[in-house]
Amino acid sequence: MTSSHGAPLRLRELWPYLAQMKPYWLLLATGFLLNLIALVSSVSLMALSGWFISGAAVAGLLEATRIAFNYAIPSAGVRFFAITRTASRYGERVTTHEGTLKLLSVLRRSTYLRIEPLSPAALQRLGSGELMTRLTADIDTLDNLYLRVLIPSTVAMVAIGLCGAVIGWFALPIGLFAALALLFSGLIGPFLAWRRGHHLSDDWQQRNGQLRRRLLEQLQALPELLLYGRWQSNSRALLDGQRQRDDIELTLARQWGQSQWLSQLLLGLTVTGVLWLAGIWVTQHDLDPTLVALMALTVLGAFEAIAMLPQAWQHLGRIQRAARRIDDLTSTVPDIHFPHADSATPRSHDITIDQLSVAFDDHPVLQHVSLQLPAGTHTALLGPSGGGKTTLLNALVRFIEPDAGQIILGDVPIKALSETTLRHLFSVAPQDVQLFSASLRDNLLLAAPNTSDEQLEDVLRALQLGDWLDSLPAGLDSWPDEGGSSLSGGQLRRFGLARALLVDAPIVLLDEPTEGLEIALQQRVMNEVVTRCQGRTLVVITHHLQSLTLFDRVAIFEQGRIIEQGAPRELKDCPDSRLAGMLRHLTL
């Protein structure tokens, strides 16, 4: 089976998600059973009501039958089935939604565990908006697989069999006709809905994902868009995308309306056929006339389960697309592989960077970089933006894999170290500091879980964040705004720096920790950093030359190469050195 756009109905791509229901099979099976009970109660209520009304009407024709007719038992049955239908429907809603929410929780966790080994570079290719859409909207879409496709389709098949059995008990040919007519309706409606709407539903899911991604990205860039007067034009582009998505949804709604019209037509034809056959059986085969209404209303009750199938199968396209997008994400092979255990233990924390080269999309970022970082030394990396300094730090912590060369820690290549060992060796403060939706205390304890409040406050005050901390009504219990927007750029960097300094790691990597601070504050912060990193290897990326005397060595990058390295005092005294030229330019 293929759609009008040639997309095959590959239900096998949904099997992995059906298999994940296994741990909750009892809960989901209970929901299915309650749904079935609700259906049986609904059909029984319709059938019994039809017979009761017809029987009462016939009994009322004669005085004797009117007195003898038992009104109590049928009316009790009507009440029983009405109560059972309501109670089972409520129970079905509770159990199926609880099972589905637990299933989605497991799916989100398993998806996260699959993408967690991916390097930041691999995830950045998707973008935060796209990644968020796949982890939220796409996974949410999969709950329709159980709630709106699997259970309704299964229950509809049971309804067809039940209807045929009830009517066939009194007149087998009529029961067969009713079952076959309902089966035809239950197949042709969903098939046509899928055939006509599958590609549209797929397109809707795709455009909705794109719209969510663009909206998230533009909200993150809102200050820049407002500053440069681009918000209105970008908003119009978003509205155009929303209109295109809504046009598809409107087309799907029209198709659903047409499928409902077809369902009602088939229902009318089926009921008419059953009534016509029942009339023949009443006149020619002594069928009790009171059963005619029973048969017709039984068909109506069973059709309730069939009527919703077209819409469910119409939306199967978006379910399949969501499954494919999650599969694409979770099947991504990590670029970087860590051994399960250390192949060897480093004898020292000396770092040797040997002929390291890195390229992104065939564009060289690092070219044959060699650098010695003896244990306990403090090194500043200088140079214009885009020179490869941050790339070098990412290579040290194996966020990226070099194309050539190697990094050796002590006498062991870092590729031979497990991820756990490597993470314990390095403490990092990146340029972009991430604050989580938690208290300031929890954000700091992420780095050092056993740190006391006194130690947390001490490092914050040492980095000149004491006044800011005192201004917060709840202190460390305060929660930052989304993404740390309640902090200034300098405060956010120093907060990330505090988190890095709390980690008891022998190697500390800092990426422009004092960017955006005034010169005097930069000096105080860097003095504190150097003091707290005594005995530890410190590597700092910086554009500021005022604090270079605090470092043992400097390395100057340009276009992916180290063009100069050495002790800052020696380089400063050499008039032909690049560092001396940079300092002269600074004094001018």
pLDDT tens digits, 477-510: 998 887 777 788 888 899 999 999 999 999 999 9
> Where, residue-wise, is CATH 1.20.1560.10 in the chain?
11-330
- Rounded alpha-carbon distances, angstroms, from residue 361 to 67, 127, 293, 369, 407: 92, 17, 73, 19, 22
Dist CA 3 CA 9 (whole Å): 8
Q: Which of 48, 35, 153, 49 lies closest to 85 in space, CA to CA?
A: 35
Q: At what angle do helices 231-284 and 290-306 cross, to 10 degrees?
A: 160
- Rounded alpha-carbon distances, angstroms, from residue 349 to 338, 342, 507: 19, 15, 8
Q: Which numeric CATH code is attached to 11-330? A: 1.20.1560.10
Dist CA 369 CA 354 (whole Å): 7
Q: Are 76 and 84 in contact (CB under 8 A)?
A: no
- Note the pLDDT of residue 352: 93
Dist CA 464 CA 525 (whole Å): 7
Q: Are 265 and 307 in contact (CB under 8 A)?
A: no
Which residue spans within 446-525 are E strands per DSSP?
A: 507-511
- Residue 358, strand partner residues: 366
Show the CA angle centred on residue 286, arms to residues 284 and 289, nearest 5°. 105
Q: Are 366 and 402 in contact (CB under 8 A)?
A: yes
The phi and psi torsions of 355 (rounded to 5 degrees) equal 50, 50
Residue with tokens 């494919």: 324
For residue 452, the SS3 value is coil
Show the CA angle centred on residue 490, arms to residues 433 and 553, nearest 5°. 80
With a CB cutoff of 8 Å and minimum separation 6, the contacts of 154 are 32
- Note the pLDDT of residue 39: 87
Q: Are 545 and 361 in contact (CB under 8 A)?
A: no
400: left (phi over 0), alpha (psi -120 to 50) or beta: beta
Dist CA 36 CA 15 (whole Å): 23
Dist CA 525 CA 517 (whole Å): 9
- Note the pLDDT of residue 527: 92
With a CB cutoff of 8 Å and minimum separation 6, the contacts of 314 are 193, 194, 196, 197, 198, 201, 252, 255, 256, 259
For residue 509, the one-letter residue type is L
The phi and psi torsions of 343 (rounded to 5 degrees) equal -75, -30
CA 238 to chain CA centroid, nearest Å: 22
In this structure, what DSSP letter does residue 8 have? B
> Where, residue-wise, is CATH 3.40.50.300 in the chain?
351-587
Number of Cβ within 10 Å of residue 436's Cβ equals 12
- Note the pLDDT of residue 325: 81
- Note the pLDDT of residue 67: 58
Helix (H) or strand (E) segment spanning residue 182: helix 172-220
- Note the pLDDT of residue 193: 80
- Note the pLDDT of residue 351: 94
- Note the pLDDT of residue 62: 56
Q: Are 535 and 520 in contact (CB under 8 A)?
A: no
Classify each residue of 57-66 as buried b or exposed e, where b means 16 or more C-beta atoms within 10 Å of its C-beta: eebeeeeeee
- Note the pLDDT of residue 3: 41
Dist CA 426 CA 392 (whole Å): 14
Residue with tokens 């159990």: 95
The phi and psi torsions of 285 (rounded to 5 degrees) equal -130, 20
Name the token pair of 502: 């709390």
- Note the pLDDT of residue 105: 85
Listed as ranges, residues in the chain with pLDDT below 50 are: 1-9, 588
Which residue spans within 501-560 are E strands per DSSP?
A: 507-511, 537-541, 553-558
In this structure, what DSSP letter does residue 337 have? -
Query: In sequence order, which ranges of 533-576 are alpha helices (DSSP H)?
Result: 568-573
- Note the pLDDT of residue 5: 44
Does the reported pTM lie above 0.75? no
With a CB cutoff of 8 Å and minimum separation 6, the contacts of 565 are 371, 553, 554, 555, 556
The phi and psi torsions of 331 (rounded to 5 degrees) equal -90, 0
Percent helix, strand and coil across the chain, each to the nearest 5: 65, 10, 25
With a CB cutoff of 8 Å and minimum separation 6, the contacts of 252 are 197, 200, 201, 204, 314
Name the token pair of 443: 């954000």
In this structure, what DSSP letter does residue 356 have? E
Residue with tokens 């202190």: 475
In the CATH scheme, what architecture does the domain 351-587 have?
Answer: 3-Layer(aba) Sandwich (3.40)
For residue 582, the SS3 value is helix
